[in-house]
Amino acid sequence: MVNTGKPSTGCVNCRARHIKCDEGKPACMKCIREDDGECTTPMAKSNPDSTASAGGFFGAVASPFATSPSIQFNDLDLYDESLADGLLSKTNSEFDFADLTTPITTTESCALSPSLLSMESLYDSPFMPAPPLPRSPSPVYPVTESHALCQLATASIPGTLPPAIETQAACFFAANFVVLPTPTSRFGHLDFLLPLLRTTPSASPLIDAFSAVSLYSFASRPSHRDILPTANVAYVKALQSLNQAVRDPALKDGYATIASSLLLALIEVLSPSSTTPRIAGWPSHISGAASLLKAKGDDVLMNSVGRSIFRTVRHQITLDSITNSKEIEFGTDWWMSRLASDDILQDAAAINVEVAQLRADTNRMMTLPRADPAHVRTVTALLRAAQHLEPRSAAWFERLLQGGHACVTTPSPATAPPALFPRKLITFAGFSVAVSYMMACLTRFFILELILRCTAWLLPPGGGGGATDVVDYKHTPEYARCRLVGAEVVRSVVAAVPYFFHDGEGAGSTIASTLTFACGLGGGDAEVKGLSGMCCLWPVFSAAGSDFATAEQSDYLTQKLEYAGNHLGIQSSRIFLMGLSQFRFPSFYIERDKSYYLSSSP
């Protein structure tokens, strides 16, 4: 080679032969083809354990950590609720803890729990991309004896590279949104992803959907907004993969296709595609998941993964229907006739589904003329149905407390942190109970709204004789009752918020300290999880905008919505904040119904 005066970046062997080095990493290909010994490429010397990517996001590369799992989910039936207690209660000695051959610096490093690594590692699979350039380091999670199977980094070591941004994103998503079942909480959140990612074929849309939602969850944090373009590309690819899957008879009936729709719906919550006062893309993905689930039939309930997906879709379709005043797809009977039991969570789901359907019926009747006697009879029946649901909802809250599923405490003024606003605190036995509680609070708000809307609609015109002289619904006994109940529901939401956002020491147990996430520390983790903000969006929004909330309560809850958007990456919270600046509930709906009446009056 000609000496140009610049130091050569080629390996020593190629320089000695005076041939051009291809500078392959970690080994020069020309050296590999020769039989004269090891390549002396500087990269290979400094990091002999590194391997090259086969290219692209799904290239075949080695995992940054070695795993030797003693428990594997080889089929869907193995991941069952009946096995969760024994699997998660195993002692540390029963698992093969992985050792790092080369510590790696990362910005969002964490410790993986046994169930995630039992897939022969989620990251020791086609999901591992090639390492990117190093990013500025952030504090790393300390490794705990009870949960850590590996540690991505403890210190920066010269000559090593951080894991790829996609790898960091996948770990971050698992540490913030994937909750595993435990002996105290039978149901997790998105836990069906673990066995599905282990068994799904490479052509499955779930791989692209998981990549997209991981990148969006990572990019939604303030320190990683620069990777948002990468997340957008991944989202487009995931949409294309899902569209192809629903046209493929071999893929459209699979669990992975339904799970992909749910993950794309989650992306719309993390980073909505529209700035209008609604999350536009979320309902379409949820509706698609429900249609795929219905097409699969009762076979979906034959194993634990299917049952977990069914519960998730039912919760999302109920939330979509109740918040958008839509009829329940496929009817209430179809959703409630499956997984039927007297479980307290099933009872809450039944009330939620009934309220969703009742709200859709009421919303349709509010636009009809009041002079028709048939319409009056229908609205009267809707009022009676709502009044019947209210004591059922109240009884459910009592059962929750009496059964030990939730605990109410009063913080001491001496120990409560200054940021802690509520006069009482509510903590929960598990994630599923906490989510059902917040959903029940939201449902109860809507029950009160239905009672007051029907009451106001049935009121006759006042004695003034004018079409606009309408009796005020606030002077009715129904309003007096709803005002007392509504104020109590607002206090209940405020009391539960510290469990999700933990305002500091003295706030009691929190969602991060009591749940087992698929990646991270588990108990004692002081970080507020992104799942906390996502679970609280609608209940906190409804309580903050309620006519029955005090100014102090509304300000406290509004701050939590701002925190969810600015710090937890739940960008849809900005849409809810826009709504709070314009609407109050239920007076907004009642005034809208009145405008329909006045516009139709002669």
Measured CA to CA in angstroms, residue 265 lies from 229, 285, 321, 322, 323 at distances of 19, 5, 15, 17, 15
Locate 540 and state its tokens.
């906190």
H helices of 89-144, in order, are 114-117
* pLDDT for residue 301 is more than 90: no
Pair 13, 22: CB distance under 8 Å:
no
- Average pLDDT of the segment spanning 289-304: 86
Residue 133: closest CA among 181, 90, 168, 94: 168
What are the structural domain ranges in the chain? Answer: 12-46, 366-602
What is the spatial distance between Cα 93 and Cα 88, in angstroms, rounded to a whole number? 13
Q: Sign of torsion, CA 230 273 560 533?
A: negative
How does pLDDT run across 205-252, given as a tens digit for each residue? 999 999 999 999 999 888 888 899 999 999 999 999 999 999 988 788
Q: Regarding predicted confidence, which is higher, 125 or 540?
A: 540
Question: pLDDT class for 441, splitting at 50, 70, 90?
Answer: very high
What is the spatial distance between Cα 351 and Cα 442, in angstroms, rounded to a whole number? 11
Locate 134 and state its tokens.
């190093």
Question: pLDDT class for 369, splitting at 50, 70, 90?
Answer: confident
- Weakest mean pLDDT among 10-19, 244-253, 298-307, 318-327: 10-19
Measured CA to CA in angstroms, residue 183 lies from 83, 480, 510, 514, 563 at distances of 10, 43, 17, 12, 31
| Identity at 490, one-letter amino acid code | V
Given this model, what pLDDT does residue 40 score? 47
H helices of 108-151, in order, are 114-117
Given this model, what pLDDT does residue 250 score? 79
Measured CA to CA in angstroms, residue 288 lies from 182, 194, 284, 325, 396 at distances of 30, 22, 6, 18, 31
Given this model, what pLDDT does residue 507 score? 53
- Average pLDDT of the segment spanning 513-542: 79
Pair 440, 393: CB distance under 8 Å:
yes
Pair 16, 33: CB distance under 8 Å:
no
Locate 471 and state its tokens.
């009796």
Given this model, what pLDDT does residue 266 score? 94
Given this model, what pLDDT does residue 220 score? 86
- Average pLDDT of the segment spanning 368-392: 93
Q: Kind of pairing, strands 425-428 and 516-517? A: unpaired
Q: Sign of torsion, CA 577 581 582 584?
A: positive
How does pLDDT run across 3-56, given as a tens digit for each residue? 555 666 777 777 777 777 877 765 676 665 554 444 544 433 333 333 333 333
Given this model, what pLDDT does residue 477 score? 94
How does pLDDT run across 459-511, given as a tens digit for each residue? 876 433 344 445 789 999 999 999 999 999 999 999 999 888 876 555 556 77
Q: How far is CA 549 from the centre of its chain?
A: 27
How does pLDDT run across 175-211, given as a tens digit for each residue? 999 998 877 777 889 999 999 998 888 778 999 999 9
Locate 602 and state its tokens.
């002669």
Given this model, what pLDDT does residue 461 score? 60
Place of tokens 């998941």: 289
- Average pLDDT of the segment spanning 272-300: 79
Residue 129: closest CA among 172, 174, 163, 171: 163
> Which of 135-149, 280-294, 502-516: highest mean pLDDT?
280-294
pTM score > 0.95 for this model? no
How does pLDDT run across 49-106, given as a tens digit for each residue? 333 333 332 233 322 223 333 323 333 333 344 433 333 333 333 323 233 223 323 3
- Residues with Cβ within 8 Å of residue 209, at least 6 apart in sequence: 238, 241, 242, 259, 260, 263, 264
